[in-house]
Amino acid sequence: MLRSCTAALRTLRALRGRREGASPAARDPVLVRRWFSTEKVIPKDYALPNPSWSKDLRLLFDQFMKKCEDGSWERLPSYKNSKLVKEQLSQAQLFTRGYEDGLGFEYVIFYNDDEKRTVCLFQGGPYLQGVPGFLHGGAIATMIDATVGMCAAIPGGIVMTANLNINFKRPIPLCSVVVINSQLDKIEGRKFFLSCTVRSVDEKILYSEATGLFIKLDPEKSLI
Amino acid sequence: MLRSCTAALRTLRALRGRREGASPAARDPVLVRRWFSTEKVIPKDYALPNPSWSKDLRLLFDQFMKKCEDGSWERLPSYKNSKLVKEQLSQAQLFTRGYEDGLGFEYVIFYNDDEKRTVCLFQGGPYLQGVPGFLHGGAIATMIDATVGMCAAIPGGIVMTANLNINFKRPIPLCSVVVINSQLDKIEGRKFFLSCTVRSVDEKILYSEATGLFIKLDPEKSLI
């Protein structure tokens, strides 16, 4: 719903620093992570392979990492906790990163600035079940929100989901890998219009398609 | 997405058995649970209070349980596992019941058959965070899907979400309680049209509103 989580902001700041001619130190991902770190130690980046990742997910990851080499695509890091909420509520953590490796949302999002696109490689684990053997629609909606939201947040800054309209066309088998493609279609003032598809790895099956409307927020204003 | 999970079917069969003049044994919830049990022991029903429930959630629960006394409303039980998936994948469990008490989705759904309505009392725990301090939009979409889906599944049997269209109007604070109201508006052949609101306990804040389209499936046909 809201894409202004600290982890997303860290990513945005790091990306912007690189693009806007920031100092060499700002381009150093370790230093950047330290500056915006939510903990005293460098937090774990969950958008990297772990032993639960299937062969399909690893292959796709490697393909996109290759695309990152010329700078056209960038892998977006992903963290679990935020300093703000740690102070308020020690147990709070990002919904999509609240599971042990392999049980829930295993994913990595890549961004292409020229094309204003995000691609999420997603493997939905056994704790995301809806009908037996298939992913819950809410889990699919969650990853669509995350992917579309990031596609709005990188150019837009702090944005909030105003609308998600999802057509579920085919059920997604549990523990399979899907590719979520999101595109920024239009900006009108503070409104960001986006579209999205969820497909099989071979692109032959269209599982879901969606549109999203996100509103750019004033970071100084309270959300409630 | 798909509302045909074993737990939902158990509920439906129990409800239908009662309505369609089933034997006294079929009206016995303990026996019904044993017949459709996913495990050798009677599975835990998660749609009951636990120590993590806030005062607001307990008060609302008590109010609805009172409404159940004259038979106009019914509390729907909620389980975590299904036999089918246990055979396929031992770790699989229902997305909305995959957390320890209080950390994720704490909820109970009530159904009113005369009004074709479901009401879900929902407390979103600290593992469902989106922007710091607020629920993730995907977690809200998940509970909307669950509530609207149950409203279609009780009269419709095995149904699949074809569309969810959600307007997010206000962010929901983490660990607060909201009331999700769903209404079956229309049936056209195999299509079930529903609407839904998410409001604060005092009904003053409209957090989200949504529409849903569900398609009745043939239980004999494969989903893929």
The Cα B206–Cα B179 span in angstroms is: 10
- Please tell me which residue, A41 or B33, carries the higher pLDDT value: A41
pLDDT at position A192, please?
Answer: 98
Of A178, A184, A6, A162, the closest CA to residue A87 belongs to A6
Residues within 8 A of A (CB atoms), B 28-47 only:
none
Query: Measured between CA atoms, how close is B202 to chain A, in angstroms?
Result: 16
The Cα B148–Cα B183 span in angstroms is: 8
Q: Tell which phi-psi region holds residue B84, choosing left (phi > 0), alpha (psi between -120 and 50) or beta.
A: alpha
- Domain assignment present for residue A131? The answer is yes
pTM: 0.82
Tokens representing A128 are 């995301």
The Cα A216–Cα A206 span in angstroms is: 30
What pLDDT digit, counting tens, does each position of B45-74 carry? 999 999 999 999 999 999 999 999 999 999
Test B92 with A129 for CB contact under 8 angstroms: yes
C-alpha pair distances (Å), B77 with each of B30, B49, B108 = 11, 12, 8
Q: Looking at residues B101-112, what average pLDDT do you find?
A: 96
pLDDT at position B27, please?
Answer: 36
- Domain assignment present for residue B106? The answer is yes
Q: What is the DSSP string of chain A?
A: -B---HHHHHHHHHHHHHHTT--HHHH-HHHHHHHT-SSSSPPP--SS--TT--HHHHHHHHHHHHHHTTTSEEEEP--S--HHHHHH-TT--BGGG-S-TTTSEEEEEEEETTTTEEEEEEEE-GGGBSSTTBB-HHHHHHHHHHHHHHHHHHHHSSEEEEEEEEEE-SPPBTT-EEEEEEEEEEEETTEEEEEEEEEETTS--EEEEEEEEEEE--TTS---
- Domain assignment present for residue B36? The answer is no
Which residues in A1-15 are b (16+ Cβ under 10 Å) and which e? Answer: bbbbbbbbbbbbebb
The Cα B90–Cα B82 span in angstroms is: 10
Residues within 8 A of A (CB atoms), B 77-116 only:
82, 84-85, 88-89, 91-96, 98-99, 103-104
What pLDDT digit, counting tens, does each position of A92-114 carry? 899 999 899 999 999 999 999 99
Return the residue in A79, A131, A176 with the most chain B beta carbons within 10 A, the one to mutate for interface testing.
A131
The Cα B4–Cα B18 span in angstroms is: 19
Q: Tell which phi-psi region holds residue B66, choosing left (phi > 0), alpha (psi between -120 and 50) or beta.
A: alpha
Tokens representing A222 are 């309270």
Test A94 with B170 for CB contact under 8 angstroms: no
- Domain assignment present for residue B166? The answer is yes
pLDDT at position A40, please?
Answer: 59
- Domain assignment present for residue A31? The answer is no
Number of domains making up chain A: 1
Q: Looking at residues B104-122, what average pLDDT do you find?
A: 97
A162 touches chain B (CB under 8 A): yes
Is A145 marked active-site?
yes
- Domain assignment present for residue B48? The answer is no
- Domain assignment present for residue A5? The answer is no
What pLDDT digit, counting tens, does each position of A8-31 carry? 444 444 444 444 443 333 334 443
- Domain assignment present for residue A191? The answer is yes
Return the residue in A81, A101, A122, A129 with the most chain B beta carbons within 10 A, the one to mutate for interface testing.
A129
Total CB pairs under 8 A between chain A and B: 223
Domain extent for A105: 55-80+89-216
- Check whether A220 has a pLDDT greater than 80: no
The Cα B219–Cα A94 span in angstroms is: 36
CATH code for position A69: 3.10.129.10
Query: Cβ–Cβ contacts within 10 Å for residue A23, how many?
Result: 9
Partner-chain residue, chosen from A99, A128, A141, that has the shortest CB–CB distance to B141: A141
What pLDDT digit, counting tens, does each position of A33-92 carry? 443 445 456 789 999 999 999 999 999 999 999 999 999 999 999 988 765 544 556 788
The Cα B210–Cα B208 span in angstroms is: 7
Partner-chain residue, chosen from B98, B136, B224, that has the shortest CB–CB distance to A142: B136
Q: Looking at residues B97-120, what average pLDDT do you find?
A: 95
